Amino acid sequence: MKPAPFRYHAPRSVADAVGLLAERPGARLLSGGQSLMPMLNLRYVMPDDVIDLNRIDTLAGIAEEGGRVRIGGMTRQRDLERSPVVARHLPVMREALRWVGHIQTRNRGTIGGSLCHLDPAAELPAIAMLYDAEVSAISVRGERSIAMAEFPAFYMTPALEPDEALTAVTFTPWTGRTAFGFVEFSRRHGDFAVVSAACLLGYGPDGRIDRAALVLGGVGAAPLRLPDAEARLTGSRGTSEDFTEAAAFAERIEAMDDAHAGADYRRHLARVLTGRALAQAVARPAA
């Protein structure tokens, strides 16, 4: 099929883009196009207007600012994968990006597009949830920041107003001795994950885990943090018994059923993959 007719706009500034959004209710923003273009072609979405952000250079880039990493919404996933800043400060993101589609899709796909599409199985929303990232949004009414924990509103629906555009995502890297892991299971390489698991572990001077973050992707309408498992790990030595008990919390989640997998299978995968992510984290030297 081909898309339904729409008006195409190619603004060259953020102000022009949000001005168009304000004037044209129901318009859709085009970033990398890896999700939107198939939806247009299949007529899952039929907007009257498509606003292309690709000519707005100021929306792309990776910058270190005051101990944080700010990533423009139009930054390509392949640029993130090859960035020394990401490798140094957000290494689990680079690990996760290797599971995102193929190089050809990562060449075009953007971090902002992935977050706004908000597929439950997508890797970048899970990493943003893992780091408690902040999303910056702008409209003609001004700018605001949205905590990643509050960013998913409904299934595949971000907490953006119709006239808002995502401009950047800001991450606070973990400092001190840290370890990370990311694993996922999909039917084929490049497919969306049936379930993914990501973890960050921070170690204190005594060698105990003094901070932990665990996220599951693909199990529900949005990436899911595991606070009970994080609490179980905090203060522990990170033994195999600690990891087994922490991973058991992942099997107690409420998981979704769909054409790809049942809820019971997803819960089983959640436990297994959480254990593997933790084992992967301790298998590599903590930085």
Neighbours of 214 (CB within 10 A): 27
pLDDT in tens, the chain (287 residues): 789 999 999 999 999 999 999 999 989 999 999 999 999 999 999 999 999 999 999 999 999 999 999 999 999 999 999 999 999 999 999 999 999 999 999 999 999 999 999 999 999 999 999 999 999 999 999 999 999 999 999 999 999 999 999 999 999 999 999 999 999 999 888 788 999 999 999 999 999 999 999 999 999 999 999 999 999 999 999 999 999 999 999 999 999 998 889 999 999 999 999 999 999 999 986 66
Nearest to 242 by CA among 251, 233, 250, 234: 233
The domain spans of the chain are 7-52, 57-171, 177-283
Which CATH number does the domain 177-283 belong to among 3.40.50.720, 3.30.390.50, 3.40.50.2000, 3.90.400.10? 3.30.390.50
Whether 138 and 167 have beta carbons less than 8 Å apart is answered as yes
- Half-sphere exposure at residue 287, Cβ-oriented, CA atoms within 13 angstroms: 13
Nearest to 205 by CA among 119, 84, 286, 95: 286
Nearest to 104 by CA among 32, 55, 156: 32
Residue 96, Cβ density class (10 Å: 0-12 exposed, 13-18 middle, ≥19 buried): buried
Check if CATH label 3.30.465.10 holds for domain 57-171: yes
For residue 10, give the DSSP letter.
-
- Half-sphere exposure at residue 196, Cβ-oriented, CA atoms within 13 angstroms: 33
| Architecture in CATH of 7-52 | 2-Layer Sandwich (3.30)
Structure tokens at 94: 């680079």
DSSP helix/strand/coil, 38: helix
Residues contacting 191, CB < 8 A, separation 6+: none
Whether 7 and 50 have beta carbons less than 8 Å apart is answered as yes
